Structure 1
Amino acid sequence: MDNQLKDINNFLQFLEESGKLKETKRFAFKKHGEVESTAEHTWRLTLFVSLFCSFYPELNKTDALEIALIHDLAELKTGDIPVIENTDTEKKEHDEQIAFDYLTGLLPEKNATHYNKLFKDYQTGRTKEARLVKALDKAETILQHVQGENPVDFDYQFNLEYGKEYFNDSYLKELRKILDQLTLDKI
């Protein structure tokens, strides 16, 4: 019982810390011009993954959903660094790994090991689940760009190239065509 109580307390500490994603702002705007939080992006990405997993019955849906849930956890420490402002990808990945290690350090070892494996899968794209989440992460961002009320100088052209390399099967290519058209409609 003592181990269970300790694990529950660790979970609560992790959830308290990860709840800060609700306040972590992204470089994306909602329908009425409010800045989107990382938690809002993560929620919709996870829903996106849940829906798209129906096209891929061979995938481990649980892994895909968990990757979506944790993929931006490190941003509560590093903040969201927009692709257009990221001049040092290696430093960003290093800082995110340190932040992610801090967060998973709050968890029992079994849970930390599991999340660290999934995070590494996402960072490296070494599983089909991780590659799907990576593609849909880009898609969700583009979708937010075309559905939100952006500043007047917003660069919609950026969407047309963003993450294109991840859209590499028939479902994702169809999705990309739709997203590109929505973007072109904004230009």
Structure 2
Amino acid sequence: MTIKRDLEFLYEIGCLRFLQRTWKQFLNPDAQNISEHTFKVIWIALILAKYEKTASEDKIIKMALIHDLPESRTGDVHYVSRLYTERKEGEAIRDIFINTSFADEFVKIWREYEERKCPEAKIVKDADTLDVELELNEQEARGHKLKDIWFKKRGKIVFKKLFTKAARKFWQEIKRSNPHDWHLKGNNRFNSGDWREKK
């Protein structure tokens, strides 16, 4: 463990904000970057954990933080490129953490995530999957049409691969949800503020 390696680690994770999700290639100019995706996965996983009532929130946060961290070295892959790419994520995670303050703990957590045996790993993987569905809804709200195609194709495969009951319920609700409801139907100036119509 050295300060030099910890600083290098911090610079490396900072680069995740410049690494776009690869499905931007499919005519999606507004796709989120890896940092944005990771942030959202943390929150989705914490919500799923509340419904599942079986997992350590501390472990979930750590696992969600690192679930895509190897991509700082391997890059992201999508459903086409995965057919042709061999990623050495285990080596990447080892090298990312070597001689850092987190070396042993986070390499172990990442391996647990990859094994998908503990409840935390299953919840984080489900959160990772659900974020794609949320992103597709957000893309549609911005005028992109990929959601219609991907929901049909992904729906046949993805739903069966979800580990938790909570994730399966959320997946079904996401299809019916509107990304604008939080501000249009929540408290705002129109329905509870100074712009509200007087009766």
TM-score when normalising by structure 2: 0.74
Counterparts of 1:100 and 1:150 in 2: how far apart (Å)?
A: 37
Question: Which of 68, 71, 77 matches 2:73?
Answer: 77
Residue 12 of structure 2 aligns with which residue? 17
Answer whether contact 1:135 1:163 (CA < 8 A) is retained: no
- CA distance 1:123–1:150, change in 2 (3 Å): farther
Q: Which runs of 5+ in 1 are unaligned?
A: 1-5
Residue 141 of structure 1 aligns with which residue? 132
Counterparts of 2:166 and 2:146 in 1: how far apart (Å)?
A: 32
User: Could you list the per-position Cα deviations for residues 10-38 of structure 1 after superposition, in whole angstroms to 9, with x for gaps in the alignment?
Assistant: 33221111111000010356xx9423110
SS in structure 2 at match of 1:59: coil
Residue 43 of structure 1 aligns with which residue? 39
* 138-147 vs 76-85, which moves further: 76-85
Question: What is the CA distance between 1:179 and its match in structure 2?
Answer: 2.9
Answer whether contact 2:122 2:164 (CA < 8 A) is retained: no
Answer whether contact 1:24 1:37 (CA < 8 A) is retained: yes
Counterparts of 1:62 and 1:147 in 2: how far apart (Å)?
A: 29
Confirm or deny that 1:119 pairs with 2:110: yes
Which amino acid in the other structure matches residue 173 of structure 1? R
Confirm or deny that 1:64 pairs with 2:38: no
Answer whether contact 1:46 1:69 (CA < 8 A) is retained: yes
Question: Which of 174, 178, 184 matches 2:173?
Answer: 178
Question: What is the CA distance between 1:58 and its match in structure 2?
Answer: 2.8
- CA distance 1:63–1:166, change in 2 (3 Å): farther
* 112-121 vs 150-159, which moves further: 150-159
User: Could you list the per-position Cα deviations for residues 102-154 of structure 1 after superposition, in whole angstroms to 9, with x for gaps in the alignment?
Assistant: 1011413xx21111111111111021100110011000111101212475566
Residue 120 of structure 2 aligns with which residue? 129
Residue 96 of structure 2 aligns with which residue? 103
Alignment: residue pair count: 171
The structure with the largest alpha-carbon Rg is 2
Higher strand proportion: 1
- Superposed CA RMSD in Å reads 2.6
Answer whether contact 1:27 1:36 (CA < 8 A) is retained: no
TM-score when normalising by structure 1: 0.79
Question: Which of 45, 50, 56 matches 1:54?
Answer: 50
Q: Which runs of 5+ in 2 are unaligned?
A: 179-199
- CA distance 1:106–1:145, change in 2 (3 Å): farther
Answer whether contact 1:46 1:68 (CA < 8 A) is retained: yes
Higher relative contact order (CA 8 A, sep 6+): 1
SS in structure 1 at match of 2:58: helix
After the TM superposition, which parts of structure 1 deviate over 6 Å for at least 4 consecutive aligned residues?
none
